[in-house]
């Protein structure tokens, strides 16, 4: 992974000094609440329901074991000894003290980490595929370009205060796992006819109140121009995006208001001036950054391993885990492993300090000292030998990290919701927990198969409910908490937004609502179909009939 040089290190050190001074002025009354807000937000610090929440950047989801140990120690020292991994591949601390944040940042800087631009109206953390560099279907490893974009976007003076947050995702695989269509800018790297690195650029995607999938603004962009082309897009947005209404301030609204053709012609007109400007990426820079993401020193191994086969045949628990939590790898004899942060009945995405330490140990012992955070809020060991899988499973299991539910119904994506977030309409974590408990039968879960259930506590959609096969959205009705259910959403190459099935439900009803949706699927599915396929084939009508059939819907009608 990327290692800082002097320039990188000095920048984060200077950031600590700057933020310490800003905090001091705020506490001394020299900065008003309103003036301090954008400053602290650009440093990931929210004032939440119970305490501040600090979001720490994990660039494109890559972490070293050393960094994870530091996070564990910080969580123990300054918080309640746990952290929450987010759908943007970052980590959040839910209980730090505002006055402690400068010290936390100073600690982070010692392991090449920071909280720069993890919130606020600026360019946020760049995200990508959690299997970058190891996925068999990868065409281009996008991480070097992600790092170059990260550096460009860090304290970019022109784009320091945009109308609204701005998210960029990059991918380099045939099967998109970085949800590039859901981002303000999505970049899909590929090799063109001349075998040159090129980019397909999407713009104007995003969830939130007005979910829209991105549109292609350029089919082919030479890689050297990635930064100047982004500058053209973000400049048009910075000047013309709305600032009078934060719900209409994302770039997607501008793209929609102008139409993609008019938007594109403005961007191209800007770019005509910016093309080949000094921010054009040089061969030398790509050559400098790329080796940081060079393949690990893999051993030459057979792809099969006898001891693994024996263990699979004799150990049902291990077999179930291997089936769900172990993923293909481009190098023979290696696999990627997902350590589940979704044990049934616990908040999705949370890891205790003790768990972080044990994951760091696993990474050191079995996976070259590195790991990744996935946008599904799990942790990944990307380079595990097949012959080590059994040991990894045993140790992960001992630490509550081996729930064999990856990609299954209980691998729920869930935002912090009403337990922590001051914007929430409703709690989300207890809903996830109740559903996990309702479906706490592994054979049954496997029978249901691949399905994605996403929960957000409000329209801001941090839990990506629009693109869940089943999406659950917390809404507020006269001060009480209700849940709206949609089905048919999907991420990936065939991304789609879910359709709401009808009036909302109370928290108590949710496990049985999900149960009924699953019942319809199990009854109607053909041999090949996953849940999403059945929904696509039948539409929402039969699901709706089942869910509302026995329910006195008038009683619970909610206008939304």
Partner 1 sequence: MSNLIQLTNGAAHIVDNAWTLIKLPATQVEARKQAGKVVLFKLTGEKTVTETQVANTVIPANGKLIVPLTVLIARKAELQTRIDANEIGVWLDTHEVLETLIENQANLNALPLIAVHVERCADGRIFSLGVLLRTRYGFKNELRAIGDVLRDQLFFLKRSGFTSFAIRADRSATEAIASLNDFTQPYQGAVDEVRPAFTRYNRAG
Residues in contact with partner 1 by the rule CB under 8 A: 5, 7, 10-11, 14-15, 18, 22, 35, 38-39, 121, 151-152, 154-163, 227, 235, 238-244, 254, 257-258, 273, 277-279, 281-282, 284-285, 287-288
Q: How far is the CB of 2 from partner 1 (least distance, A)?
A: 12
In angstroms, the CA 492 to CA 171 distance is 11
The torsion defined by the Cα of 127, 130, 136 and 139, in degrees rounded to 10, comes to 10
* 539 torsion bin: left (phi>0), alpha (psi -120 to 50), beta (else): left
Question: Do residues 463 and 145 lie in contact, with contact meaning Cβ atoms separated by under 8 Å?
Answer: no
Q: How far is the CB of 229 from partner 1 (least distance, A)?
A: 14
The encoded tokens of residue 206 equal: 């995003």
Question: Do residues 335 and 327 lie in contact, with contact meaning Cβ atoms separated by under 8 Å?
Answer: yes
The reply to whether 171 sits near ligand SF4 by the rule CB under 6 A is: no
**Based on the number of CB atoms within 10 Å of its own CB, is 268 exposed (0-12), middle (13-18) or buried (19 or more)?**
middle
Question: Do residues 483 and 505 lie in contact, with contact meaning Cβ atoms separated by under 8 Å?
Answer: yes
Q: How far is the CB of 197 from partner 1 (least distance, A)?
A: 17
Among partner 1, ligand SF4, none, partner that 457 touches (CB below 5 to 8 angstroms by kind): ligand SF4
In angstroms, the CA 249 to CA 233 distance is 15
Q: How far is the CB of 108 from partner 1 (least distance, A)?
A: 17
Q: How far apart are the first and last CA of the chain?
A: 46
**Rounded alpha-carbon distances, angstroms, from residue 520 to 444, 523, 554:** 15, 5, 23
Q: Which of 204, 404, 457, 488 binds ligand SF4 (CB under 6 A)?
A: 457
Q: How far is the CB of 269 from partner 1 (least distance, A)?
A: 11
Which stretch of DSSP H or E encloses residue 150?
helix 143-153
| Nearest CB to partner 1, comparing residues 177 and 235 | 235
The reply to whether 462 sits near ligand SF4 by the rule CB under 6 A is: yes
Question: Do residues 238 and 193 lie in contact, with contact meaning Cβ atoms separated by under 8 Å?
Answer: no
Among ligand SF4, partner 1, none, partner that 239 touches (CB below 5 to 8 angstroms by kind): partner 1
Helix runs in 315-370, H state only? 316-325, 353-366
Sheet of 480-487, strands arranged across: 413-414, 453-456, 470-477, 480-487, 499-500
| Nearest CB to partner 1, comparing residues 101 and 363 | 101
The reply to whether 126 sits near ligand SF4 by the rule CB under 6 A is: no
The reply to whether 91 sits near ligand SF4 by the rule CB under 6 A is: no
The reply to whether 208 sits near ligand SF4 by the rule CB under 6 A is: no
Q: Which parts of 405-424 interact with ligand SF4 (CB under 6 A)?
A: 415-417, 421, 423-424
- For the CA atoms of the chain, what is the radius of gyration? 23
Q: How far is the CB of 423 from ligand SF4 (least distance, A)?
A: 4
Q: Which of 83, 463, 498, 503 binds ligand SF4 (CB under 6 A)?
A: 463
Q: Which of 41, 91, 458, 514 binds ligand SF4 (CB under 6 A)?
A: 458
Among ligand SF4, partner 1, none, partner that 424 touches (CB below 5 to 8 angstroms by kind): ligand SF4
Q: How far is the CB of 242 from partner 1 (least distance, A)?
A: 5
DSSP designation for 137? T
- The structure tokens 């696999």 sit at 335
The reply to whether 384 sits near ligand SF4 by the rule CB under 6 A is: no
Provide the binding-site residues for ligand SF4, judged by CB under 6 A. Answer: 415-417, 421, 423-424, 456-458, 460-463
């Amino acid at each position: 992974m990327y290692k800082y040089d002097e320039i990188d290190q000095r920048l984060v050190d200077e950031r600590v000094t700057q933020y310490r001074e800003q905090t001091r002025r705020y506490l001394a009354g020299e900065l008003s609440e309103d003036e301090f807000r954008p400053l602290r937000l650009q440093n990931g610090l929210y004032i939440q329901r119970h305490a501040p929440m600090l979001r720490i950047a994990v660039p494109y989801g890559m972490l070293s074991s050393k960094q994870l140990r530091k996070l564990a120690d910080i969580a123990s020292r300054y918080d309640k000894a746990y952290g929450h991994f987010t759908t943007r591949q970052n980590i959040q601390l839910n209980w730090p003290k505002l006055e402690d944040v400068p010290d936390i940042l100073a600690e982070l800087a010692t392991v090449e980490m920071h909280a720069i631009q993890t919130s606020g109206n600026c360019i946020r953390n760049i995200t990508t595929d959690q299997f970058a560099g190891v996925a068999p279907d990868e065409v281009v490893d996008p991480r070097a370009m992600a790092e170059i974009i990260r550096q460009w976007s860090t304290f970019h003076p022109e784009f320091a205060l945009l109308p609204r947050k701005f998210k960029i995702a990059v991918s380099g695989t045939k099967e998109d796992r970085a949800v590039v269509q859901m981002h303000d800018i999505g970049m899909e790297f590929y090799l063109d006819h001349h075998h040159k690195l090129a980019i397909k650029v999407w713009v104007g995607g995003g969830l939130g109140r007005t979910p829209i999938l991105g549109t292609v603004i350029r089919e082919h962009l030479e890689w050297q121009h990635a930064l100047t082309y982004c500058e053209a897009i973000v400049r048009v947005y910075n000047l013309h995006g709305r600032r009078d209404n934060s719900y209409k301030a994302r770039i997607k609204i501008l793209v929609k208001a102008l139409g993609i053709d008019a938007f594109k012609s403005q961007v191209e007109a800007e770019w005509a001036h910016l093309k080949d400007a000094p921010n054009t990426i040089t061969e030398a820079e790509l050559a400098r950054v790329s080796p940081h993401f060079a393949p690990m020193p893999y051993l030459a191994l057979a792809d099969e391993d006898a001891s693994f086969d024996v263990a699979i045949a004799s150990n049902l628990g291990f077999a179930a885990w291997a089936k769900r939590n172990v993923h293909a790898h481009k190098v023979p004899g290696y696999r990627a492993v997902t350590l589940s942060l979704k044990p049934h009945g616990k908040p999705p995405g949370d890891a205790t300090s003790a768990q972080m330490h044990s994951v760091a140990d696993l990474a050191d012992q079995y996976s070259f000292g590195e790991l990744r955070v996935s946008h599904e809020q799990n942790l990944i060991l990307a380079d595990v030998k097949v012959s080590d899988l059994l040991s990894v499973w045993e140790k992960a299991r001992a630490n509550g990290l081996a729930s064999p539910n990856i990609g299954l119904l209980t691998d729920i994506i869930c935002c912090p919701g009403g337990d922590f977030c001051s914007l929430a309409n409703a709690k989300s974590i207890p809903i996830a927990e109740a559903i996990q408990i309702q479906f706490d039968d592994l054979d049954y879960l496997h029978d249901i198969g691949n399905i994605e259930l996403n929960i957000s506590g409000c329209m801001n959609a941090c839990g990506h409910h629009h693109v869940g096969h089943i999406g659950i959205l917390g809404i507020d009705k006269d001060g009480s908490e209700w849940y709206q259910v949609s089905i048919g959403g999907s991420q990936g190459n065939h991304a789609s937004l879910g359709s709401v099935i009808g009036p909302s439900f109370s928290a108590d009803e949710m496990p049985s609502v999900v149960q009924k949706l699953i019942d319809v699927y199990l009854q109607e599915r053909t041999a090949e179909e996953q849940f999403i396929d059945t929904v696509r084939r039948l539409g929402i009508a039969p699901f709706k009939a089942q869910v509302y059939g026995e329910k006195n819907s008038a009683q619970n009608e909610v206008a939304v």
